[in-house]
Amino acid sequence: MTETIINLDTVNPIEFFGVNNSKFDILKKKFPLLKILSRGTQIKLSGAPEQIDLAKEKITLIIQYMERNGHLSENYFEQILGGDDAEVIDNFVDKNPNEVLVFGPNGKTVRARTANQKKMVTAADKNDIVFAIGPAGTGKTYTAVALAVRALKNKVVKKIILTRPAVEAGESLGFLPGDLKEKIDPYLRPLYDALDDMIPADKLGYYMSTRTIEIAPLAYMRGRTLDNAFIILDESQNANDLQIKMFLTRIGSNAKAIITGDPTQVDLPRNQRSGLEKAVRILQNIEGIAHIELDEEDVVRHKLVKAIIKAYDKERENETENSYHR
């Protein structure tokens, strides 16, 4: 049996151990083969060397995280203990603090995690309009919202406007129960979810009540001029040609816009054509407008999502080839 002692001198031990030792209990459950004791600002580990080494690595990551952020929720505490090292380091321990876009309410950092997401960040810094095109799960919307929140916190803009076409799989809003807000909110839920990760609930509520942050269907943008704003059009493949043109011509002075979309997931009725492909094509060579393409290598969801996207892409290629040879 081997023993080792870890010092918590650089962090708040109460924050590390949790209220009524709630986090410390999580630590002990994660390493049942070890005897783990706490005394003041020290943790004593006893057991097999390989188990001690693994526990020590995880605890060190937690300490590094807390040294930077101070607070650490039980949820993130458990995630750090349970994730593999690559996942933990990527999600919680920043290799380059300058890459952080936003610090979330619980201290989790939000940053571009893939090469093309980083291209999105660079493009948004250098251009006023960015098209970010790619399949589901590639972080288009999440990265766009993070850029908008960063711009608001840094006082680069005065408000954020997030919008989506209220179209899903041919369903009609009129058949949904509730008032207009209740009908529309399910379509805008992914935008709320992203904001929840980046802004404390009370502050987000204040921003929403003062319309510093506004989430609305695309139709609500008609007739407006949007100055000093960061504007995101999400799911733009479900907007027709006139709608995308209307959105792009709303942009006013000191405004930035990101248009995200997945051309393979168009939910418009069959008699309507998506305007995304045309917009990307005719605006290709205009200075100040950037185009970023994301692919399955940018998928940051469950590892199976990447395989699913590849399978569907291959099937679509086969269908196109078979159609050509008929």
Q: Is the pLDDT confidence value at 160 over 60?
A: yes
Return the H-helix or E-strand segment holding 111: strand 109-111
Same domain, 119 and 261: yes
Q: Which residues pair with 261 in a beta bridge?
A: 133
Same domain, 166 and 194: yes
Same domain, 26 and 133: no
Same domain, 57 and 118: no
Same domain, 175 and 279: yes
Per the structure, the complete domain to which residue 250 belongs is given by: 109-321
- The answer to pTM > 0.85 is no
Q: How far apart are CA 235 and CA 133, in angstroms?
A: 10
Q: How far apart are CA 213 and CA 158, in angstroms?
A: 9
Helix, strand, coil distribution of the chain in percent, nearest 5: 50, 20, 30
Same domain, 20 and 127: no
Instruction: Judge whether 268 lies within some domain.
Output: yes
How far, in Å, are 191, 240, 256, 264, 319 from residue 323 at the CA level?
37, 26, 41, 17, 6
CATH number at residue 126: 3.40.50.300
**In this predicted structure, what is the pLDDT of residue 161?**
95
Same domain, 264 and 124: yes
Instruction: Judge whether 104 lies within some domain.
Output: no
Q: Is the pLDDT confidence value at 72 over 80?
A: no
pLDDT digits (tens, 9 = 90+) for 206-246: 999 999 999 888 888 888 889 999 999 999 999 999 999 99
Q: Which of 2-16, 75-89, 299-313 has the lowest mean pLDDT?
A: 75-89
**In this predicted structure, what is the pLDDT of residue 173?**
47
Same domain, 86 and 122: no
Same domain, 89 and 124: no
How many separate domains does the chain show?
2
Better-predicted residue by pLDDT, 306 or 172: 306
Residue 103: pLDDT band by 50, 70, 90 thresholds? confident
pLDDT digits (tens, 9 = 90+) for 259-276: 999 998 888 888 889 999
CATH number at residue 12: 3.30.1370.10
Instruction: Judge whether 101 lies within some domain.
Output: no
Q: Which of 12-21, 207-216, 246-255 has the lowest mean pLDDT?
A: 12-21
CB distance 146 to 308 below 8 Å: no
Residue 184: pLDDT band by 50, 70, 90 thresholds? low
